[in-house]
C-alpha cells in the first residue's frame, strides 16, 4: 500500500489537515468538539490490521472497523468475559420464543445532535436487514414495532441466537434521517468518536463526540490506519508513526515484550486457524483419511513454534469459549494411529519412496491458502504441516493463490486454510450454521451429517445459555469424530501501544479495541 511506503510523510500531512480543514461553522457544530476539549485530550494514531471497503456498517463486514475504532454501537455488546451486556439498550426481555423487547437508553444522541429514539433504532435495523445479505439470516426478522421507550422485535420462528446476533457490528445504529448516501465515508453513529473523513484502504480521521452518552471521550481526535502487513504494523509502532496497534503477530511480539517503552496486552482469542477438508471432490471423502491427517499433525509443536501466545486448538472452538473444551475427545498427535488408519484406507508405501500409495498412485494432498484474509496460510504453520504430513507418508502440496473464490466454489482443493472468528457474537450458532450445516454458506468442505444438522437446528429453539453450551459441546464432538476439519491453533489477540497510552482495549473477540477511556499522555 502507498501509505506504508510514505507513512511518516502521510502522518505529517494528516496533522496539517486536522489543524486547517475544520470547514465552516456548520461543520464545526456537527463535530461538536470545542476548542477547550481539543486542547486537553490530545491526538492518537492507531493501526488496525484490516478495513472494510467502506464505513457503512450495513454493508458486508464494514461495521467491524467502526466497533474497533469506538465509532459505532449496537443495542447489546460482548464484554471481555464473552458476556452480553447492554449498550444502546439498557435492558431487554425475552417475552416469548419469538418476541424480544428492548428498552432504549434515554439521553443518547447521534453524533449530529439528533436524539436516539426507538423509531430511529427501528429504522436503522430495518435498513441493515435490507442492505446486508447476512442481516435476514442473523435475525430472522418478522417485524419491529415501537412501544413508548421500547422496541419490540418479533422473529419469524424461535431463534436462540437472536440476542447474540444483534450485537454483530452490522447492526450498529445509525441516524437514517441523515443523508445515508454519505455513510460510506462519514456514518453518523452514537459512539465516542465520529468520522470526519475516509480514505478507503488507507485511513480515516475521527474527532471526539463530546456529548457522548457515556461521558466525554479521553482523546480529542484519532487517525486510524489500515496496515494489513504484519511487519509494517510492527515497524510503525517502533518508528513512532502509530501509538497503538491491533493484532501484532507472533513473530513480532518479542520486539515489544520486556521493553519499558511499550505496553503489551494479550488474551486467548476466539479466532481459530484451521483446515477445511473436502469431503466430496477429494480422496478425503474417506473418513479414515481425514482422521489419519488429523492424527499426523503435531498441534503442540506447531503452537510452540508459532509462539506469541498461540495455543493448540484441536477442536472447533477454543478453550477460551464455554463449550466444554476440557471434556472433549480432541484431535491428538498419534503417528501410530495415522499408520493404522492409512492401512484401513488401503494405503501403504509399496515402493519405499517415503510416501504411501494405493493402486500405484501416491497419496497427494493439495492445500490451498492466500497471503491474507480469512484464508491466510500462516507460513510457519504451512511449512510445519508439510513436514509433518511427509513424516506420516502423505505428500502435501502447499499452494498460495491471490484469490480462492473459484477454488472454494468449485471444490478444487483437498485442504483449505481458514481463519475464522468462531464466537463472533459471543455465541456458537453463527459459526456452526455457516461452516458445518449441510447448506451453510461457508461449508466449503460440503459436510453433511444429519445428527449434526439436528443439533444445530436445536440451537435455534434453545434459549437457556447452559443448554446451548451443552448442545455446542455435542456438536463439537461430532465434528472432531467425523474429521470435519483440522483445528490447528488459536492465536492470541495481542495489542501493543507505546508507554504513553493508558486503557488500551484487549478483548477475546477482535472487533473491539479502542475504548472511550483510552488516552495518551504527551
CA 160 to chain centre: 21
Question: Are 423 and 317 contacting, i.e. CB atoms less than 8 angstroms apart?
Answer: yes
The continuous run of DSSP H or E covering 229 comes out as none
Whether residues 231 and 316 share a domain: the answer is no
* Domain identity same for 458 and 334: yes
Residue 305 and residue 163 share a domain: no
Q: Is residue 16 part of a domain?
A: no
In this structure, what CATH number is given to the domain that contains residue 193? Answer: 3.40.190.10
pLDDT of residue 374: 67
Q: Is 487 exposed, middle or buried (0-12, 13-18, 19+ CB in 10 A)?
A: buried
- Full domain range(s) for residue 430: 269-347+355-492
Q: 286 and 425 in one domain?
A: yes
CA distances from 136 to 68, 99, 184, 241, 391 (A): 24, 16, 21, 41, 47
Q: Which residues contact 90 (CB under 8 A, 6 or more apart)?
A: 103, 104, 105
- 228, 337: one domain: no
Residue 8 lies in a domain: no
- Residues 294, 236 within the same domain: no
Residues 256 and 275 both lie in one domain: no
Burial class (CB in 10 A: 0-12, 13-18, 19+), 138: buried
> Does 503 share its domain with 384?
no
Q: In this structure, are 97 and 213 located in the same domain?
A: yes
Query: Reduced to 3 states, what is the DSSP secondary structure of residue 369?
Result: strand
Q: Which DSSP string corresponds to 413-481? A: -SEEEEEEETTTTSSSHHHHHHHTSTT-TT-TT----HHHHHHHHHHHT---HHHHHHHHHHHHHHHHH
pTM of the entire predicted model = 0.81
C-alpha cell at 219: 482523546
Whether 446 and 381 share a structural domain: yes
Q: What is the pLDDT of residue 456?
A: 96
Would you give per-residue pLDDT tens digits along the chain (522 residues)? 433 333 443 433 333 333 334 444 434 333 433 333 344 789 999 999 999 999 999 999 999 999 999 999 999 999 988 889 999 999 999 999 999 999 999 999 999 999 999 999 999 999 999 999 999 989 999 999 999 999 999 999 999 999 999 999 999 999 999 999 999 999 999 999 999 999 999 999 999 999 999 999 999 999 999 999 989 999 999 999 999 999 998 889 999 999 999 999 998 889 999 999 999 999 999 999 999 999 999 999 999 998 888 899 999 999 989 999 999 999 999 999 999 999 999 999 999 999 999 999 999 999 999 876 667 778 889 999 999 999 999 999 999 988 888 999 899 999 999 999 899 888 999 999 999 999 998 999 999 999 999 999 999 999 999 999 999 999 999 999 999 999 999 988 999 999 999 999 999 998 899 999 999 997
Is residue 10 assigned to a domain? Answer: no
**Do 456 and 437 contact (CB within 8 A), yes or no?**
yes
- Are 412 and 369 members of one domain? yes
- Let me know whether 250 and 293 are in one domain: no
**DSSP 8-state symbol, 279:** S
CATH number at residue 425: 3.10.105.10
Amino acid at each position: 500500500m502507498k501509505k506504508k511506503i510514505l507513512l511518516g510523510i502521510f502522518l505529517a500531512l494528516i496533522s496539517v489537515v486536522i489543524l486547517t480543514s475544520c470547514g465552516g461553522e456548520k461543520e464545526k457544530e456537527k463535530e461538536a468538539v470545542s476548542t477547550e476539549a481539543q486542547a486537553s485530550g490530545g491526538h492518537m494514531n492507531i493501526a488496525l490490521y484490516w478495513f472494510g471497503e467502506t464505513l457503512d456498517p450495513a454493508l458486508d463486514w464494514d461495521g467491524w472497523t467502526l466497533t474497533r475504532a469506538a465509532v459505532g454501537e449496537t443495542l447489546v455488546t460482548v464484554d471481555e468475559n464473552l458476556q452480553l451486556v447492554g449498550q444502546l439498550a439498557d435492558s431487554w426481555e425475552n417475552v416469548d420464543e419469538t418476541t424480544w423487547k428492548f428498552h432504549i437508553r434515554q439521553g443518547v444522541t447521534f453524533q449530529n445532535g439528533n436524539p436516539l429514539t426507538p423509531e430511529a433504532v427501528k429504522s436503522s435495523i430495518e435498513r441493515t436487514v435490507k442492505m446486508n445479505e447476512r442481516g435476514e439470516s442473523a435475525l430472522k426478522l418478522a417485524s419491529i414495532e415501537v412501544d413508548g421507550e421500547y422496541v419490540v422485535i418479533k422473529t419469524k420462528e424461535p431463534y436462540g441466537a437472536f440476542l447474540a446476533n444483534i450485537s454483530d457490528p452490522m447492526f450498529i445504529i445509525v441516524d437514517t434521517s441523515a443523508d445515508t448516501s454519505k455513510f460510506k465515508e462519514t456514518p453518523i453513529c452514537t459512539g465516542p468518536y465520529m468520522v470526519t473523513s475516509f480514505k478507503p484502504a488507507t485511513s480515516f480521521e475521527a474527532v471526539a463526540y463530546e456529548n457522548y452518552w457515556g461521558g466525554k471521550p479521553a482523546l480529542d481526535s484519532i487517525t486510524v490506519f489500515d496496515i494489513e502487513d504484519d511487519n509494517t504494523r510492527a515497524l510503525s509502532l517502533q518508528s513512532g508513526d502509530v501509538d497503538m496497534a491491533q493484532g501484532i503477530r507472533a513473530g513480532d511480539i518479542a520486539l515489544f515484550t520486556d521493553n519499558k517503552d511499550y505496553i503489551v496486552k494479550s488474551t486467548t482469542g476466539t479466532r481459530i486457524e484451521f483446515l477445511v477438508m473436502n469431503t466430496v471432490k477429494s480422496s478425503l471423502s474417506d473418513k479414515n483419511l481425514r482422521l489419519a491427517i488429523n492424527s499426523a499433525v503435531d498441534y503442540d509443536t506447531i503452537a510452540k513454534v508459532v509462539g506469541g501466545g498461540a495455543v493448540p486448538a484441536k477442536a472447533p472452538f477454543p478453550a477460551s469459549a464455554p463449550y466444554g473444551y476440557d471434556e472433549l475427545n480432541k484431535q491428538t498427535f498419534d503417528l501410530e494411529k495415522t499408520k493404522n488408519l492409512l492401512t484401513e484406507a488401503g494405503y501403504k508405501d509399496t515402493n519405499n519412496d517415503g510416501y504411501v500409495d494405493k493402486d500405484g498412485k501416491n497419496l497427494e494432498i493439495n492445500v490451498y491458502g492466500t497471503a491474507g484474509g480469512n484464508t491466510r496460510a500462516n507460513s510457519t504453520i504451512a511449512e510445519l504441516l508439510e513436514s509433518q504430513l511427509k513424516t506420516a507418508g502423505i505428500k502435501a502440496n502447499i499452494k498460495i493463490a491471490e484469490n480462492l473464490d473459484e477454488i472454494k466454489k468449485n471444490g478444487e482443493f483437498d485442504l483449505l486454510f481458514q481463519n475464522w472468528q468462531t464466537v463472533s457474537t459471543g455465541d456458537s450458532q453463527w459459526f456452526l450454521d455457516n461452516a458445518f450445516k449441510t447448506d451453510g454458506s461457508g461449508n466449503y468442505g460440503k459436510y453433511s451429517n444429519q445428527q449434526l444438522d439436528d443439533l444445530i437446528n436445536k440451537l435455534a429453539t434453545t434459549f437457556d445459555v447452559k443448554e446451548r453450551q451443552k448442545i455446542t459441546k455435542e456438536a463439537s464432538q461430532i465434528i472432531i469424530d467425523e474429521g470435519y476439519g483440522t483445528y490447528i491453533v488459536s492465536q492470541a489477540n495481542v495489542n501493543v501501544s507505546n508507554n504513553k497510552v493508558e486503557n488500551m482495549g484487549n478483548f477475546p473477540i477482535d472487533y473491539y479495541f479502542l475504548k472511550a477511556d483510552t488516552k495518551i499522555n504527551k
